[in-house]
Amino acid sequence: MTQQRRLTRIAGLLVVPATAALVLAGCSGSGSRSGDGNADSFTFTFATSNNLESPYEALAKAYMEANPDITITTNPTPNDKYGETIRTQFQAGNASDVVQTTPGSGDARGLVPLAEAGFLEPLGDTATSLVPSGSEPLFEIDGKTYGQPMDFTIGAVVASMGTAAQNGIDEWPTTMDQFYAECETLTGQGKSMLALAGAAGPNAGLTAQGIAATRVYEVEPDFNTERAAGDTTFAESTGWKDALQTIIDLKDRGCFQPGAEGGGFDAITNGLAQGTSIGSFIPSGSAVEIASAAPAEANFKVQPFPAAKGEKPFVLASSNYTISINAKSEKKDAAAAFVEWLSTPEAQEKYYEVSGLLPISEYKNLDLSDTIYSPIVDILAEGSYTTLPNNVWPNPAVYEALQVGVQGLLTGQTQIDQVLQNMDNAWGE
């Protein structure tokens, strides 16, 4: 397949299909499949958030179809406890041969601390070649790559513009005044502008980071570097205070669904699919996932959250999902062959067909004007984005403090200053 044909094929996959599978990432129950003792068979663990088939399950099936002598035992694991679970498994010596990880150090499944602990196997040249330029510290230690990127994910608001239009919202709001006005109108109709899984730490954390994109990183693009150098703190940051205050304001103005503080991931999938909420801070590929359960006229788009005080729109955009190999695996050759296959055009097409996430190797070359990404084409072209902040943070405890803090803000049990101080304490010096 020529490069041009491959680009055309992948670009077509970015249009929301009615039959796409959900990727807030689910399982099909095949985790009970057992290996057959074949030397080329291996195990594969990945995070899930619902009971539908995940893209990783789909990839495993496609690989086995192409290689009928190989059995992949899949181990879908709940997303909210995934990082803690795989670390425990690594420490106990019973982790899977292939494991889904994330770039950097700031998440409990972050590949850098796992590699530093000796849990991950260095990967080959293919994985290294896929690492986005400038992001090497999130994937490498001493020149060795420990995670193969799978995606280029946009962190913004996935919104059903069809649902918006049905409720009198013809254009996505570009200012917070407009946004709050739409929230108040929808509240009067028993609906909400945003669906939030407040009880799920990852969604609470992602929502805060998505808002911080404009409040912090558009204004202070070097905030993380300065925080690492000790030149600033979260507690001193006006931008982070504004970001967390915005979460409180969104709740007080009725922008979240009732009971958002206790909502799980089903609050998002049901709210967006059934048209009771317009959008949510979820990975961009979720537009494809949720479309499978929504009416055809839902018309999902990736929209920027309104900037504050007249600043430009700014979003999160980075590779957020990686695949790694267990350093103690007894099936390293088989695992390495599978990871290598994940970079092939057929594997990439399969992954993006079911996930909707931009392909790591081709996203800069794609024409996105007629896709779910059309509202942010100019934002990407201008480079008005930053990597997911917690990928750069030094340890998972900082992100955990943010997640728990946001949940406390939603219930009124904590204050902004305390959340930021807890993040600073978790950062350490």
Q: Domains, the chain, ranges and CATH?
A: 3-152+320-361 (3.40.190.10), 155-317+375-427 (3.40.190.10)
**What band does 11 get if pLDDT is binned at 50, 70 and 90?**
very low
- The CA–CA distances, whole Å, from 411 to 32, 122, 243, 346, 408 equal 38, 43, 17, 46, 5
Q: Which residue stretches of 229-376 are H helix?
A: 238-252, 265-274, 286-291, 332-341, 345-355
pLDDT of 423 strictly over 70: yes
Q: Which residue stretches of 132-213 are H helix?
A: 161-166, 176-187, 201-212
Structural tokens at position 73: 């035992």
Q: How far is CA 211 from the centre of its chain?
A: 15
**What band does 104 get if pLDDT is binned at 50, 70 and 90?**
very high
Sheet with 148-149, strands from edge to edge, namely 72-78, 42-48, 98-101, 322-325, 148-149
Q: Where is pLDDT greater, at 287 or 276?
A: 276
Q: Where is pLDDT greater, at 351 or 342?
A: 342
Q: For the chain, how long is the longest CA-to-CA vector?
A: 62
Structural tokens at position 93: 């010596």
**What band does 310 get if pLDDT is binned at 50, 70 and 90?**
low
Please answer whether residues 217 and 379 qualify as being in contact, where contact means their C-beta atoms are separated by less than 8 angstroms: no
pLDDT of residue 50: 60
Read off the pLDDT of each residue in 364-383 and give the average, rounded to a whole number.
86
- The CA–CA distances, whole Å, from 82 to 76, 93, 149, 391 equal 9, 16, 18, 16
pLDDT of residue 32: 33
pLDDT of residue 429: 57
Read off the pLDDT of each residue in 78-95 and give the average, rounded to a whole number.
93
**What band does 370 get if pLDDT is binned at 50, 70 and 90?**
confident
**What band does 71 get if pLDDT is binned at 50, 70 and 90?**
very high
Q: Which amino acid is at 414?
A: T
pLDDT of residue 358: 83
pLDDT of 94 strictly over 80: yes
**What band does 38 get if pLDDT is binned at 50, 70 and 90?**
low
Burial class (CB in 10 A: 0-12, 13-18, 19+), 118: exposed
Read off the pLDDT of each residue in 108-130 and give the average, rounded to a whole number.
95
Q: What is the pTM of this model?
A: 0.78
pLDDT of residue 203: 94
Q: How far is CA 309 from the centre of its chain?
A: 27
C-alpha 254/C-alpha 307 separation (Å) is 19
Structural tokens at position 279: 């959008």
Go through the chain and tell me how many residues it has: 429
pLDDT of 35 strictly over 60: no
pLDDT of residue 185: 93
Give tens-digit pLDDT for 131-143: 987 789 999 999 9
Helices 176-187/238-252 angle, 10° precision: 20
248's CB contacts (< 8 A; 6+ apart) are 409, 416
Interstrand relation of 385-386 and 315-318 (parallel, antiparallel or unpaired): parallel
